[in-house]
Amino acid sequence: MGFPRTCIALVALASAVGALSARADDGLRIEEYVEAVLRSHPAAAAARFLDDGAAAESRAARLLPDPTLELTLGRGRPSDGSAPEKTETGFAVSQVVPWLPARSAAVEAADHGAAALRADAAAARQGLALDARLAYLGLVKARALEEVARAAEADARSLLDLVARRAALGESREVDRIRSRVEWLRQERELRAAGREAEAAERVLRTLAAEPLPEPLRLAGALPLSGDAAAALASATPERLASSPALLRAEAEAARAAALASSARRGRVPELGFSFFRQKELDRDAWGGALDVSLPLWNARRGDVARAEADARLKSSGAAAARLSLLAGLEARRRDAETLAGQVASLETDLLPAAAESLRLARLLFEEGETSLLDLLDAQRTAREARREEILARHSLAASLAELARLLGPDAPTGENR
C-alpha cells in the first residue's frame, strides 16, 4: 500500500517541480508559491487530517452502541453425587437502545464538534498561506533593498571616479576625493549587508516551500501599491467576520456545549437494554430474554446536567467575547492598513518624485561646477532613503493587509492585485 502512494507522491512532486521550472524564465508568481507551500508543507497535511477527524466524528456519533456477548463455560455435578460431572454452558446477547431525543442531541453535538475541527483546519491552511505570502514578499522587499544598495554603490563609485579625475587635473580638492571614497566604502558595505539579507530571505522562502524551487529563483511578484489596498479595505466589514475561522470555531464550540447540555437533560430518561440468553445446566436447559431499565430516582444525572449547562453558558460567553475581540481587532487592523496606504500614496506621488528631481538637478549642477560635493552627496542620500522608505512602507502595508485577511477568513483579499 505504501509503495504505490509513494510513487504517486513522487510523480506529483516531479510534475510540480517541472511546472515551476517551466515558468522559471517568467519568474515565480506569488500564487504559484502559495500553492506549492499548501501542497508540500507538513502543516497543510495536518489540516487535512483535521478535516478527516471532523468527518470521522460525525460518522461515529451516528453509530449504534455495539452489542455485548457473554459466554459461560463450567463443570459441575449434583451435590448428592447422584450423577457424574458434566459440562454447563451458556451465552447472553445484550443490546442497549439509546433514547432517541438524547441520541439526536448527541449527534448534533458531534456535528458542531466536527465544525470546530473544520474551522481549525481552515485557520491552519489560511495561516500557512499568509505565512507563505509574507515570506514571498519578504524576499521581494530584500531584493528591492539590495537593488537600491547596488544603485547607490554604482553612483558612489562613479562619483569617486569623477572626483578622482578632477583632483588629478587640479580641478577638485583632495578632501573631496577622500569624502567620495568614504561614501563609496560606506555604500559598498551596505550593499554586502543587503545581499546577505536577500540570501537569508531566499533561504526562508525555500525552507517554507518544503519542495525544490527553480535555480536561480526569479520572482514575478511585487510589493503592493497604495491602490492595491482598496479592495482589501473595502471588504474589511464586520459582516465579513462571519467567515472568520476563529469566530466559526468559538461559535461551533458554543453550539456543541449547548447540544451536550440538551443531551444531558434528555438523558435523564433511561435507556433501554435488551438481552437474550440461553443456559444449559445439569438439570435444565433454559432460554429467555430480559429488559434493563435504570430508574432515575436518586441521581437522575443531576450533576451531569448541571455541569453541561454551566459549560454551555461558559462557551456562549466565550463566543460573544471572541466576536467582540475580533471586531476590535478588525478596527485596529483596518486603521493601520489605511494609515500605511496613505503613507505609501504620499511617498509614491510626492516624496519620491521630488527626491529624484532634486538628485537630477544636484548632479547636473555638480558636473557644471556650480555646487559642492556635499550638496550632491546630500541629494543622493535623500533620494536613496526615500526609496528605501517607500519599499519598507509597501512591505508594511502588505503585512498589515495579510493580518487583516487573517481576521476575515480564507476568501479575504490580500492586496496583491498584480
In whole angstroms, what is the distance from residue 356 CA to residue 379 CA?
9
Rounded Cα distance between 417 and 132, Å, is 17
Collect contacts of 4-13 with beta carbons under 8 A, ≥24 apart.
12/39, 13/40, 13/211
- Give the contacts of 37 (CB within 8 A, at least 6 positions apart): 44, 128, 129, 131, 132, 208, 209, 210
- Judged by DSSP in three states, 89 sits in strand
Read off the amino acid at residue 31.
E
Distance CA 246, CA 85 (A): 70
Note down the domain range covering 353: 2-408
CATH (domain of 130): 1.20.1600.10
DSSP calls for 148-210 = HHHHHHHHHHHHHHHHHHHHHTTSS-HHHHHHHHHHHHHHHHHHHHHHHHHHHHHHHHHHHH-
| Locus of grid cell 533561504 | 203
Residues 246, 175: Cα–Cα separation, whole Å: 63
Residue with cell 481587532: 329
Rounded-to-integer distance, Cα 144 and Cα 149, Å: 9
In this structure, the strands spanning 86-97 and 68-76 are: antiparallel
Grid coordinates of 379: 541629494
- Cβ atoms of 282 and 86 within 8 Å: the answer is yes
Evaluate whether residue 414 is within a structural domain: no
Peptide bond into 216 cis (omega under 30): yes
Q: Does residue 417 lie in a domain region?
A: no
- Please, are residues 176 and 167 in contact by the beta-carbon 8 Å criterion? yes
> Whose CA is closest to 37, among 117, 125, 118, 140?
125
Q: Is residue 10 part of a domain?
A: yes
> For residue 395, how many other CB atoms are within 10 A of its CB?
22
pLDDT at 36: 92
Sheet with 86-97, edge to edge strand ranges: 68-76, 86-97, 272-280, 285-293
Q: What is the pLDDT of residue 377?
A: 80
Average pLDDT, consecutive stretches of 10 residues, N- to C-terminus, the chain (418 residues): 38 43 67 92 92 91 86 77 76 83 85 91 91 93 93 86 80 80 90 95 93 90 82 80 88 90 78 80 78 72 83 91 91 89 89 88 82 81 89 91 85 64
Predicted pLDDT at 285: 81
> What's the number of domains the chain is made of?
1
Q: Which three cell numbers stand for residue 71?
A: 459466554
Give the list of residues 6+ apart from residue 145 with CB closer than 8 angstroms, or none: 194, 197, 198, 388, 391
Give the separation between CA 100 and CA 94, rounded to whole angstroms.
Answer: 18
In a domain, 415, yes or no: no
For residues 383 and 39, give the distance between their C-alpha atoms in angstroms, rounded to a whole number.
42
Evaluate whether residue 230 is within a structural domain. yes
The model's pLDDT over 257-297, given as tens digits with 9 standing for 90+, comes to 998 888 888 777 777 777 888 888 767 788 888 888 776 66
- Residue 352: inside a domain: yes
Q: In the prediction, which pLDDT does 300 show?
A: 67
Is 65 within the bounds of a domain?
yes
pLDDT the model gives residue 25: 57
Q: Which of 398, 408, 418 is nearest to 136 (CA)?
A: 398
Question: Is 91 inside a domain boundary?
Answer: yes
Distance CA 88, CA 84 (A): 13
Question: Residue 118 has what pLDDT?
Answer: 92
For 332-396, give the secondary structure using H, E and C. Answer: HHHHHHHHHHHHHHHHHHHHHHHHHHHHHHHHHHHHCCCCCHHHHHHHHHHHHHHHHHHHHHHHH
